[in-house]
């Protein structure tokens, strides 16, 4: 049985929903220079905002103007919690500004007050794929240690301003996406722009390290400002299974888990695991982990672990490497599982596996802050979207988290479904990849008036919350 104060709710990100990309003193974020993509079509990173290009984040779903109506709909479903992020560029437009933008601070005051009006607990991520573009251009993001101080300044302002309005915080969203070397991940996570002659892997580890130090400093600062604040890490979690029982596949899957989730070890235990240090040694990377960094990491351990879960992976050993170092090329299709229209494998039991994996290692409270099903939705003749496929997906995943609590004793604080309202996809920049209980009338082609309507799943989730997950 779930705890009586279980936080049922949903999650969005500022850059995917707010729009108003240049309103009230907001600066340009890295997401503001990513174009629209599509299913199988990657987003492009442009050198600044280019006239004629389509940037869906500029509009989002007009949440900046419509947040009161949207939160009222969340309240109608019975939300106990609402996860969102603070757009760094609303507070510090360039990222390295000396003083914060008061208009941006006031917006989040109003947003959090509106949540509390309905008894909804705000759950806030500081950096969710929306770092200031100025930091990318001037410093190459978190490859420069100065960005640690810029982030800490931003975090301190937020903690001090909202300490009575926000209890649960996270530092960097899906920080471990920096296990896969590509420009999309690096710009979203660390405002890093790859340049000719760069060693992309080294750049990735360097940027990630500076973020881990910044995160630890933020945790320490939050506890100094208000000991009641709870600061967690946020991990993009997808369990990696061996493709077969061949011991080589088993070791290869272990290597993938090492690479993708050492971030959780650093956040929760306050130091790097030896396997990643040995990898740095093999690679011959300069020692960017300074002696003072080790002390900072030890002092800034997180209070809880938050994570997203959408799918699992299967790994096959193909390269004959004795180190079993991870590469995404080792991933193969798990023939035991079905997949979404975007090729994401559907594995409800994998959520229970991931909860147990975290629990076994860290024995910290956890929160699922993203779990959802992206699909092409189509309204019926009555105008209502019958998204039973979404209900089926969520029902099975909620049952899995309940089983993890009952059978493994997992300490689970809450479940933030992604996303309760249709928003812009972070990976593809689409409107047509829909997750919500609430339909937003907008298409990839720029058609639609952004009006809201309830899908079948809206009423289902309301009942789930009413029964504290007992009736699915």
Q: What is the pLDDT of residue 279?
A: 94
Domain ranges of the chain: 7-466
Q: What is the pLDDT of residue 1?
A: 85
Q: Which of 174, 189, 211, 430 is catalytic?
A: 174
Q: pTM for this structure?
A: 0.96
In 3-state terms, what secondary structure has residue 51? coil
Q: What is the pLDDT of residue 287?
A: 87
Q: What is the pLDDT of residue 341?
A: 86
Q: What is the pLDDT of residue 319?
A: 83
Phi, then psi, of 76 in degrees rounded to 5: -60, -35
For residue 228, what are the CA distances in angstroms to 114, 215, 223, 313, 457? 22, 18, 7, 37, 35
Contact 111, 38 (CB under 8 A): no
| 445 carries an active-site annotation | no
Q: Return the sign of the alpha-carbon dihedral for residues 444, 446, 452, 453.
A: negative
Tokens found for residue 76: 């109608």
Look-up of token digits 């409800």: 348
Contact 52, 35 (CB under 8 A): no
Cα–Cα distance for residue pair 116/76, rounded to 1 Å = 14
Contact 156, 225 (CB under 8 A): yes
Please state which CATH class domain 7-466 belongs to.
alpha beta
Cα–Cα distance for residue pair 136/336, rounded to 1 Å = 42
In 3-state terms, what secondary structure has residue 368? strand
Contact 131, 191 (CB under 8 A): yes
Q: What is the pLDDT of residue 405?
A: 97
Buried b (16+ CB within 10 A) or exposed e, 270-299: bebeebbeebbeeeeeeebbeeebeebbee
Rounded to a whole number of angstroms, the CA Rg of the chain reads 21
Tokens found for residue 164: 């009575």
Q: In 226-336, where does DSSP find H-type helix?
A: 247-269, 274-283, 291-299
Cα–Cα distance for residue pair 106/165, rounded to 1 Å = 13
In 3-state terms, what secondary structure has residue 73? helix
Residue 336: exposed, middle, or buried by beta-carbon count in 10 A (0-12, 13-18, 19+)? Answer: exposed
Q: What is the tens place of the pLDDT at every residue in 254-272?
A: 999 999 999 999 999 999 9
Extract the residue ranges of the chain whose pLDDT is less than 50: none
The full DSSP string for 235-251 is EE---EEESSS-HHHHH
Q: What is the pLDDT of residue 184?
A: 87
Contact 40, 407 (CB under 8 A): no
Contact 12, 81 (CB under 8 A): no
| 174 carries an active-site annotation | yes
Q: How far apart are the first and last CA of the chain?
A: 13
Cα–Cα distance for residue pair 123/133, rounded to 1 Å = 25
- Taking alpha carbons only, the member of 91, 108, 100, 215 closest to residue 164 is 108
Phi, then psi, of 110 in degrees rounded to 5: -65, -40
Tokens found for residue 92: 């510090």
> What would you measure as the largest C-alpha separation in the chain, in angstroms?
65
- Taking alpha carbons only, the member of 37, 201, 78 closest to residue 461 is 78
């Amino acid at each position: 049985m779930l705890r009586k104060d279980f936080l049922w709710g949903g999650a969005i990100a500022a850059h995917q929903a707010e729009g108003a990309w240049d309103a009230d003193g907001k600066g340009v974020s890295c997401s503001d220079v990513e174009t629209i993509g599509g299913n199988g079509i990657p987003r492009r990173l442009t050198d600044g905002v280019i006239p004629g290009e389509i940037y869906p984040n500029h509009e989002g779903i007009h949440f900046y103007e419509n947040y009161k109506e949207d939160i009222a709909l969340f309240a109608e479903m019975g939300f106990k919690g609402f996860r969102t992020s603070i757009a760094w560029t609303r507070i510090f437009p360039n990222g390295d500004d000396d003083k914060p933008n008061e208009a941006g601070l006031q917006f989040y005051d109003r947003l959090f007050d509106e949540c509390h009006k309905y008894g909804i607990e705000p759950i806030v991520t500081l950096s969710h794929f929306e770092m200031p573009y100025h930091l990318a251009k001037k410093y190459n993001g978190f490859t420069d240690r100065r960005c640690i101080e810029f982030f800490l300044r931003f975090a301190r302002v937020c903690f001090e301003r909202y300490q009575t309005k926000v209890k649960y915080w996270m530092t960097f969203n899906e920080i471990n996406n920096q296990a896969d070397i590509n420009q999309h991940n690096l710009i979203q996570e660390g405002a890093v722009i790859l340049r000719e002659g760069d060693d992309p892997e080294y750049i990735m580890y360097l940027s990630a390290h500076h973020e881990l130090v910044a995160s630890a400093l933020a945790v320490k600062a939050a506890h100094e400002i208000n000991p009641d604040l709870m600061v967690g890490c946020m991990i993009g979690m997808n369990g990696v299974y061996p493709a077969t029982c061949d011991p080589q596949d088993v070791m290869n899957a272990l290597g993938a888990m090492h690479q993708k989730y050492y971030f959780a070890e650093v956040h929760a235990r306050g130091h790097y695991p030896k396997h990643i240090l040995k990898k740095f040694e093999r690679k011959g990377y300069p020692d960017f982990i300074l002696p003072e960094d080790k002390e900072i990491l030890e002092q800034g351990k997180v209070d809880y672990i938050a994570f997203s879960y959408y799918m699992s992976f299967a790994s096959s050993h193909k390269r004959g490497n004795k180190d079993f170092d991870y590469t995404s090329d080792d991933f193969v299709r798990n023939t035991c599982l079905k997949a979404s229209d975007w090729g994401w494998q559907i594995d409800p039991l994998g959520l229970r596996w991931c909860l147990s994996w975290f629990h076994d290692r860290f024995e910290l409270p956890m929160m699922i802050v993203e779990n959802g099903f992206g699909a092409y939705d189509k309204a019926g003749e009555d105008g209502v979207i019958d998204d039973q496929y979404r209900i089926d997906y969520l029902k099975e995943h909620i049952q899995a988290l309940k089983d993890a609590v009952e059978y493994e004793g997992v300490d689970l604080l809450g479940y933030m479904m992604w996303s309760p309202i249709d928003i812009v996809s972070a990976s593809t920049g689409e409107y047509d990849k829909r997750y919500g209980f609430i339909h937003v009338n907008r298409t990839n082609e720029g058609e639609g008036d952004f009006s809201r309507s309830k899908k079948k799943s809206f009423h289902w989730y309301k009942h789930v919350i009413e029964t504290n997950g007992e009736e699915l």
